[in-house]
A = this chain, B = another copy of it.
Amino acid sequence: MAKPLEALLRALQSLPGVGAKSASRMAFHLLQHDRAGALELARALTRGLAELRHCSRCFTFTDAELCATCADPQRDDSLLCVLETPADQAALERTGVYRGRYFVLMGKLGPLAAPGPQDNGLQRLMERLHSPEASAVRELVLATSFTAEGEATAHLIAQALKGREIKVTRLARGVPLGSELEYVDLGTIAHALADRR
């Protein structure tokens, strides 16, 4: 096999969830049917690496010192929503109903998460809460995933904030809109029943 093709197959396999078979399908598709897409991807990767860094305040990815949300004077400083990833943040932003500030952990905390010096989201969150611009925070909204890891992360943060004058809340668990009860998992139904209002 030609060297540049081998290199491309190997590079594609460094993407999470992409094995030999997917890499081959991807390379074949890009080279044969979507060379413009391949060029676009190469450019987006190069540009992303060069321009994206962590927001110095909320730690999400941004191309400036402060991200657009942190820099926006219209947001409510009394609310701070803690999420795991920029993708979770984007999902919440799309609803248009949250007008507070954010803190992005960039991963999960707790015994199930891989620890590492780059991943100390809890310590960064505590530093953020001690900073002058966080003095207005009255409520921390825990919007980590409703998985074992996300729940452990939320629990750790709640523990770390005990005794402080900040209200800690969690997104509600329940049946997703548009769901037929028959197809919703039992744990979700049980929670929706317990949290009924």
Q: Which residues of A contact B (CB under 8 A)?
A: 1-5, 7-8, 10-12, 14-17, 21-22, 24-35, 37-49, 51-52, 61-64, 67-68, 85-87, 90, 93, 106-107, 118
Q: How far is the CB of A25 from chain B (nearest CB, A)?
A: 6
**Residue numbers in B under 8 Å from A61 (CB-CB):** 2, 5, 31
B4 contacts A48, C-beta separation under 8 Å? yes
**Residue numbers in B under 8 Å from A28 (CB-CB):** 85-87
A63 contacts B4, C-beta separation under 8 Å? yes
Q: How far is the CB of A15 from chain B (nearest CB, A)?
A: 5
Q: How far is the CB of A57 from chain B (nearest CB, A)?
A: 14
B86 contacts A4, C-beta separation under 8 Å? no
User: In whole angstroms, how far apart are the Cα atoms of A48 and B61 in the complex?
Assistant: 29
- Check A90/B12 contact, CB under 8 A, given A7-B47, A46-B42, A49-B35: no
Other-chain residue from B3, B37, B45 in contact with A42 (beta carbon distance below 8 A): B45
**Residue numbers in B under 8 Å from A4 (CB-CB):** 44, 47-48, 51-52, 63
Q: How far is the CB of A3 from chain B (nearest CB, A)?
A: 7
User: In whole angstroms, how far apart are the Cα atoms of A10 and B3 in the complex?
Assistant: 28
**Residue numbers in B under 8 Å from A1 (CB-CB):** 86, 90, 93
